[in-house]
Structure 1
Amino acid sequence: MPKIHVLDKHTAELIAAGEVVERPSSVVKELMENAIDAGASAITVEIENGGVKSLSVTDNGCGIAREDVPVAFLRHATSKVRTENDLEAIGTLGFRGEALASISAVAKVELLTRTAEEVAGTRYVIEGGQEILCEDAGRPQGTTIIVRDLFYNVPARMKFLKKDVSESNSVAGVADRVALSHPEVSVRFLRDGKEELLTPGDGKLLSCIYTVFGRDFAKGMTPLDYTLNGVHVHGYVCKPTCGRANRTMQHFFVNGRYVKTRTAMAALEEAYKGAMMVGKFPSCVLHIDLPLETVDVNVHPAKIEVRFINERPLFDAVYHGTRSALQAAAPAASMSLPVKTPPVAPPGGSAAGREVPEQTRLYAGAPTAHTAVEQAARQELPDVPEGPSPRAGMPSRQAAPARTGAYAAGDTRPAGNLWERFLDDGNGPLSSGGAPAKPFAGGAGLRDGGSSYGRPLRVPDIQRTEEESGWAPPPQKAPSVKGEPADPLSAGPVSAPDKPTDEPAVRCLGEAFATYIIAQRGDALYFIDKHAAHERILYDRLKAAERSDAQLLLEPVSVSLSREEYAALIPELATLSQAGFEVEDFGGHSVLVRAVPMLLTGGDVAALIQEIAGGLASGRREITTDKLEWIYHSTACRAAVKAGDSTSEQERQAVAERILLSDDVRTCPHGRPVCFELTRRELEKQFGRAK
């Protein structure tokens, strides 16, 4: 049996350092938080080679006294906590006294500092936990810490670091979050000598949001300032029309500290239900201020997660604050009514030719359901052409009923019931919330829709067919020559002599819930998910083409991305081009989309690009052997008809034949089943006709 022994100091420090220092971004986070605790109003972060070769953090804070410099690198040495009572109400970002000791144990560290009272500053060098040098140095008030050769003495940790680009993006994300958490501090970030971020430090959160995320993101935000039960929530939430494909743009700060809290996340998304389409997630930059004694920040090594004594006041404050902000941001509805005037007869005595005065516009303080539906319906009406439509011979669709995402001003559901439901869910996956969204205008060749921003430009001399949209029935097979076996994919049940011979092998009986196609083939009924089926058809068509055909957009679409999404998407522009997207770098963490695949007509192009960029930035796609195939998945899903969309009988028949006459199509690209079978015998057993 191995004998128990005490580890030497160096080994123990390396193990302890692993809890604090995981990668360069964790070093930058600790140093920037120390700078804020020191009262800095300006912080500069510089990195080289992702921060592995070198990183430095410079501030203009109070500095460190000469006699305290060596002590600062000892473990559990801090100026922020003195007794155990101080742990009950922690008001600083740092408090453990482990950061500098952990960093110096796995890197070569140089510190330059000076206080306001000192004439000369101090230069201190420590490598691998061993003091090398301590001398006088000239510098202005504040502190600079330079970290070189991170993990030089821990090769096992070095091999787990990612590429320089990924590590740099992680550091940039830390700089962004620190800037958002303290807009009164000017944050400057330089990557390999190039400045990428410089916030004004004017104390205005919106200015910081504009600098970090760009103009388009800032324009889509609405202010929030709400206090309930001692919890003050202030910041910005996105407008219901600016939802995103993931939660990466949800930022919560509790007492100035960036945290991940499921309670605030759930409250935010619950507040958007009925206002944001399904599958979209709201964005926010919210500061939550509450009494220090009600929060425990000493529960996570990186202090990303916190615990609350009572989470319900937090949930209620975020929920009601968000709903109030959405109500305040809702545009005033208007209604047009004709003004009746007595007819004025012309001199000839006839009432013909009289003019009707213009309509009077009545404005209401809050939108009404009737007005919102009427306006949405008018927006859905396509322009009526003067002559015959070139698509007159193609199957048509009925206009889908308009749906509104308008926020109900009179909704006064108590947040208590929502909170109890959140608890009953067992903290399961958060739902996206929202009412069913309007179908794509012109999506996948099925919708004609009105002209809108970002709608694809139609080339006049190219006539699109049903086959391009994915809804065309399979080509008719030539009759089998006598003696040749019939094609098993197209052969139907043998018809009786007295029945017509041209009856299709697959017969579409109808549709259930505007989602499931009901079809009959032989002695079996089939229930087909039309979204999953159409998605699979489009995916197969995209994958079959060596290079997807692209169509120019009438107006290029500018897509604003987060820093991580932008850095992950730019190297994949060639892959997007192969998939049919013409995307170019637009600067300022934005890209410009000039063309999309032919199958992706209309729809939310920006949302699709954000979804692709988010998947690449999350790292889930780095191990994918074929990124192009994953892009095809996303494109087909966006272009496919949605559940609840109206489809014509010809379209349903085409999908049923394509699915049921092809034995290789049984799941969508995401693995969900496309259809299931109910045989005649199984049906008769339900009615007691068979045993």
Structure 2
Amino acid sequence: MPIHLLPDHLINQIAAGEVVERPASVLKEVLENAMDAGATAVEVQLEQGGVRRIRVADDGCGIPRDELPLALERHATSKIASLDDLEHVGTMGFRGEALAAIAAVSRMSITSRFDTEPHAWRIDADPRELAPAALNHGSVVDVADLYFNTPARRKFLKSEGTEFAHCDDVFRRVALARPDVALQLSHNGRVSHRLPSGTKEARVRALLGDDFLAAARLVEAESGLIRLSGYASLPAYSRSSRDAQFFYVNGRFVRDKLVTHAIREAYADILHGSRHPAYVLFLELDPYGVDVNVHPAKIEVRFRDSRAIHQFVYHALKRVLAVSGAGSSESLGVRNEAEPAGLPSTGSTAYSTPYAPPAALPPLQGRLAMEPASRAYFEFAASARPDAPAFSGAAVSNTFGPRPSPAGNESVNAYALPASDLAPPLGYAIAQLHGVYILAQNEAGLILVDMHAAHERILYERLKTLLDGTPGVQRLLIPAVFGVGTKDMASAEEHDELLERMGFEIAPAGPQELAVRSVPALLATAPVSELVRALLAELRDYPSTDVITARRNELLATMACHGAVRANRSLTIPEMNALLREMEATERADQCNHGRPTWTALTMTDLDRLFLRGR
């Protein structure tokens, strides 16, 4: 076949294969054009998932009569005129391909009224004839019978419900980016979203719900000309899919591997496994610093200084997520003056004076052992505030005294709470429930703590800090000797230097036996054989020292999990209060190493509502 020029109509249909993947692609392009036109209100009507019809009406500036035919031509645009414009593009659209591609595979019409013209005009894609029309202002783009002339492409479309779901995703992405624009979406005559213009918080609440905002941290970070804002969820709100992840660059929704990696790394310490964080984040930077002309659908971008962007996003999120609600009054209905306003709270009662945890506490050892020395430490930590009332943790003499355990259940032990006008954020322990949960009272109400999860986080953070220096080592008076398999023996020999740096001294004691002579001081009372077996199992999965170093935190998480206080362990009141104080002084204490919450709060308002008080 000789070389020849393709006809324009075929060129447009080929372009449509890149730009118009499905009805949602059409909706994205037309919605973005409405935003570029300065619309303050947009109404979207869909039929049969957008396959039968997509109608988008906006109140933007409109298109002049003489320019309507050009709007349907390839590479015709009002948004750029030079390479310099392209490198600083600030509009959502700029290629000038979308309308021509859509017109090539559908029955399309545009009705528009330019501000200075006496009435509106309408143009059909085929035939391209102008005719007067009735429209007060703005533009209406009507796309009917998508892929009517390319039946092979139409066969690849999914069910009506699936195609509408994709359109709904596009609508939500645009709506989250533009809370200043009122938007409405209807499908087959039924309204799905009616969103008035308002604040960013109100728009996020309307589309992601109260649960997301209640479990999210406000993100506000700035460095030079780069700014990151929005909301990032705590791990308790993690999802099994990425359906609640929205990232924008200069108002444009993007999926960028670099940014996704930075966010995932920021969550690495608090979200493990197959769970995914939820977030709505907006990155703003000089348009010259990002190339949006990478992909026909404009969903990918390329940063000129990718490393700087990665580090900025990573550190900004990591700082926000590292702030523990256990150590700040914010998450219990109180905000310190130094903290930014607008943070979500879980309570409705505020303290009169913020509480600051002690600057330094003795290390929390092992499994909260019951020896006299440990008991003295817990009694000290429970009353370490200079202005705290005397509180040794023993049963306080009062009218009721210790509450007897229910018959057959020795694990419930409750004590009276000393009066105080300045309770710490997590309050004072009053009971232990079934050897698993700590019940504490603060000025807002009731605090419930998962003691194993909380202690696991404390040990993990301490192990990370110690491993960066010289870890404290506890030599065992009697070496712990236990049998292992061939793989564990080989793993212990292969990684002996790494284990020594972590604080372990392990040597063969026989053909299938290992002897442990020292362990990290923080894990002195942990079950040695169980801890070492779990650690060796982790090391077997890592083929080289470089990989081990990169995944060091996962190893430390395993160590912390096996070293933390176990369920069904009875704690005294001083031990429980010591744990609460350590939580307040520990970063990321809101979640354990696996992303589960370590504590929750029920305010007096919550309890009154539960028991119908005041009704």
Structures share fold, TM-score greater than 0.5: yes
What runs of 5+ residues in structure 1 fail to find an aligned partner?
343-350, 385-398, 418-509, 519-526, 528-641, 649-691
1:72 corresponds to which residue? 71
Give the number of the structure with larger relative contact order, counting CA–CA contacts within 8 Å between residues 6 or more apart. 2
Q: For 1:57 and 1:409, how far apart are their aligned partners in 2? A: 52
What runs of 5+ residues in structure 2 fail to find an aligned partner?
329-354, 358-381, 402-415, 439-450, 469-527, 538-560, 568-615
Residues 542-589 of structure 1: CA distance to partner in whole angstroms, max 9, x if unpaired?
Answer: xxxxxxxxxxxxxxxxxxxxxxxxxxxxxxxxxxxxxxxxxxxxxxxx
Q: For 1:196 and 1:362, how far apart are their aligned partners in 2? A: 48
Taking a change above 3 Å as real, the CA distance of residues 407 and 64 of structure 1, as seen in their structure-2 partners, is farther
Identity %: 34
2:7 corresponds to which residue? 8
CA contact (8 A) 1:330 1:407 kept: no
Residues 259-296 of structure 1: CA distance to partner in whole angstroms, max 9, x if unpaired?
Answer: 01122222222222333354432211000000111110
What is the CA distance between 1:339 and its match in structure 2?
A: 4.1
Q: For 1:224 and 1:289, how far apart are their aligned partners in 2? A: 13
1:219 corresponds to which residue? 214
Q: For 2:282 and 2:179, how far apart are their aligned partners in 1? A: 11
Residues 629-680 of structure 1: CA distance to partner in whole angstroms, max 9, x if unpaired?
Answer: xxxxxxxxxxxxx9999999xxxxxxxxxxxxxxxxxxxxxxxxxxxxxxxx
1:24 corresponds to which residue? 23
CA contact (8 A) 2:57 2:141 kept: yes
**Per the alignment, in what secondary structure is the counterpart of residue 287 of structure 1?**
strand
Q: After the TM superposition, which residues 589-608 of structure 1 pair with which residues of structure 2 at under 5 Å, given as runs?
A: none
Q: After the TM superposition, which residues 207-246 of structure 1 pair with which residues of structure 2 at under 5 Å, given as runs?
A: 207-246=202-241
Equivalent position to 1:193, from 189, 192, 201:
189
Q: After the TM superposition, which residues 326-365 of structure 1 pair with which residues of structure 2 at under 5 Å, given as runs?
A: 326-327=321-322, 330-332=325-327, 337=383, 339-340=389-390, 358=418, 360=420
CA contact (8 A) 2:391 2:418 kept: no
1:145 corresponds to which residue? 141
**Per the alignment, in what secondary structure is the counterpart of residue 174 of structure 1?**
helix
Equivalent position to 1:155, from 148, 151, 155:
151
Letter in 1 for 2:196: P
Q: TM-score, normalised by structure 2?
A: 0.58
What is the CA distance between 1:9 and its match in structure 2?
A: 2.5
Q: For 1:5 and 1:155, how far apart are their aligned partners in 2? A: 26
CA contact (8 A) 1:515 1:643 kept: no
Letter in 1 for 2:234: K
Q: For 1:341 and 1:146, how far apart are their aligned partners in 2? A: 73
Letter in 2 for 1:35: A
Q: For 1:286 and 1:107, how far apart are their aligned partners in 2? A: 35
What is the CA distance between 1:321 and its match in structure 2?
A: 2.0
1:108 corresponds to which residue? 107
Q: For 2:8 and 2:18, how far apart are their aligned partners in 1? A: 16
Q: After the TM superposition, which residues 507-518 of structure 1 pair with which residues of structure 2 at under 5 Å, given as runs?
A: 512-513=530-531
CA contact (8 A) 1:228 1:313 kept: no
Equivalent position to 1:285, from 277, 280, 285:
280
Q: For 2:186 and 2:234, how far apart are their aligned partners in 1? A: 32
Q: Does 1:381 align with 2:435?
A: yes
Letter in 2 for 1:313: A
Taking a change above 3 Å as real, the CA distance of residues 67 and 382 of structure 1, as seen in their structure-2 partners, is same
Equivalent position to 1:304, from 281, 284, 299:
299
Q: For 1:287 and 1:341, how far apart are their aligned partners in 2? A: 47
CA contact (8 A) 1:114 1:121 kept: yes
What is the CA distance between 1:138 and its match in structure 2?
A: 1.7
Q: For 1:38 and 1:401, how far apart are their aligned partners in 2? A: 52
Q: For 1:404 and 1:242, how far apart are their aligned partners in 2? A: 20
Taking a change above 3 Å as real, the CA distance of residues 90 and 408 of structure 1, as seen in their structure-2 partners, is farther
Q: For 1:352 and 1:358, how far apart are their aligned partners in 2? A: 10
Q: For 1:297 and 1:259, how far apart are their aligned partners in 2? A: 10
**Per the alignment, in what secondary structure is the counterpart of residue 171 of structure 1?**
helix
2:242 corresponds to which residue? 247
Q: TM-score, normalised by structure 1?
A: 0.52
Q: For 1:148 and 1:306, how far apart are their aligned partners in 2? A: 31
Q: Where does structure 1 differ by over 6 angstroms across 4 or more consecutive aligned residues?
A: 351-357, 374-377, 406-413, 514-518, 642-648
Q: For 2:530 and 2:76, how far apart are their aligned partners in 1? A: 68
2:53 corresponds to which residue? 54
Q: For 2:216 and 2:437, how far apart are their aligned partners in 1? A: 32
2:165 corresponds to which residue? 169
Residues 331-358 of structure 1: CA distance to partner in whole angstroms, max 9, x if unpaired?
Answer: 436785384499xxxxxxxx99999982
CA contact (8 A) 2:417 2:430 kept: no
Q: For 2:182 and 2:53, how far apart are their aligned partners in 1? A: 22
What is the CA distance between 1:326 and its match in structure 2?
A: 2.9
What is the CA distance between 1:401 and its match in structure 2?
A: 6.9
Q: For 1:244 and 1:157, how far apart are their aligned partners in 2? A: 33
1:136 corresponds to which residue? 132
Q: For 1:407 and 1:247, how far apart are their aligned partners in 2? A: 30
Q: For 2:390 and 2:87, how far apart are their aligned partners in 1? A: 72
Residues 111-134 of structure 1: CA distance to partner in whole angstroms, max 9, x if unpaired?
Answer: 11102211111111123xx42x32
CA contact (8 A) 2:185 2:192 kept: yes
What is the CA distance between 1:313 and its match in structure 2?
A: 2.2
Taking a change above 3 Å as real, the CA distance of residues 329 and 9 of structure 1, as seen in their structure-2 partners, is same
Letter in 2 for 1:49: Q
Taking a change above 3 Å as real, the CA distance of residues 300 and 354 of structure 1, as seen in their structure-2 partners, is closer
